[in-house]
Amino acid sequence: MTIRTMAMAVAVGVAACACAEFAGRDPRYPGFAEENFKLPMRVMVIGAHPDDADFECGATAIKLARAGARVQFVSVCNGDKGHQSMSSPDLAARRAKEAQAAAKIYGVEKYTIIGEPDCEVEPTLKLRAQITKLIREFAPNAVFTHRPTDYHADHRATGTAVLDAIYMLGVPLYCPDVPVPEMLPFVMYTGDGFTLPRPFRADMIVAVDDVRDQLVEGFACHVSQVFEWLPPEHGFDPKTLGTDHASRIAYVKAHHMGRTRSNGRIHRAVIDKVFGANAPEFVDVYELSEYGRKPCKKELAFLKSLGFKWVAAE
157-207 pLDDT tens trace: 999 999 999 999 999 999 999 999 989 999 999 999 888 889 999 999 999
Whether residue 232 is contained in a domain is answered as yes
Lowest mean per-residue pLDDT among 62-66, 130-134, 218-222, 232-236: 232-236
**Beta strands, E only, the chain:** 42-47, 70-77, 110-116, 142-145, 186-190, 204-207, 283-292, 309-310
Residue 221 lies in a domain: yes
Residue 301 belongs to domain with CATH number: 3.40.50.10320
Each residue of 174-210: b (16+ CB within 10 Å) or e? bbeeeebbebbbbbbbbbbeeeeeeebebbbbbbbbe
Mean pLDDT for the stretch of residues 281-304: 94
pLDDT at 26: 66
Q: What is the domain count for the chain?
A: 1
Which pLDDT tens digit goes with each residue over 23-64?
Answer: 445 667 766 677 778 899 999 999 999 999 999 999 999 999
List, in sequence order, every beta strand (DSSP E) within 59-210: 70-77, 110-116, 142-145, 186-190, 204-207
Phi then psi for residue 168, to 5 deg, are -65, -15
How would residue 17 be classed by pLDDT, with cut points 50, 70 and 90? very low
How sure is the predictor about 312, in pLDDT bands with cuts at 50, 70 and 90?
Answer: low
For all residues of the chain together, what is the average pLDDT? Answer: 89
Mean pLDDT of 291-297: 91
Residue 32 included in any domain: no
Q: Is residue 158 part of a domain?
A: yes
Per the structure, the complete domain to which residue 70 belongs is given by 41-310
Q: pLDDT tens across 119-129, in order? A: 999 999 999 99
Q: Name which of 108, 104, 98 is nearest 78 in CA terms.
A: 98
Residue 235 in domain? yes
Whether 147 is in a domain gets the answer yes
Q: Is residue 26 part of a domain?
A: no
Query: Which of 40-54, 132-146, 263-277 shows the lowest mean pLDDT across its residues?
Result: 263-277
Q: How far apart are CA 143 and CA 265, in angstroms?
A: 25
11 within domain boundaries = no
Nearest to 94 by CA among 266, 238, 291, 229: 229
What is the DSSP pairing of strand 70-77 with strand 142-145? Answer: unpaired
Cβ(282)–Cβ(212) below 8 Å: yes
pLDDT at 16: 35
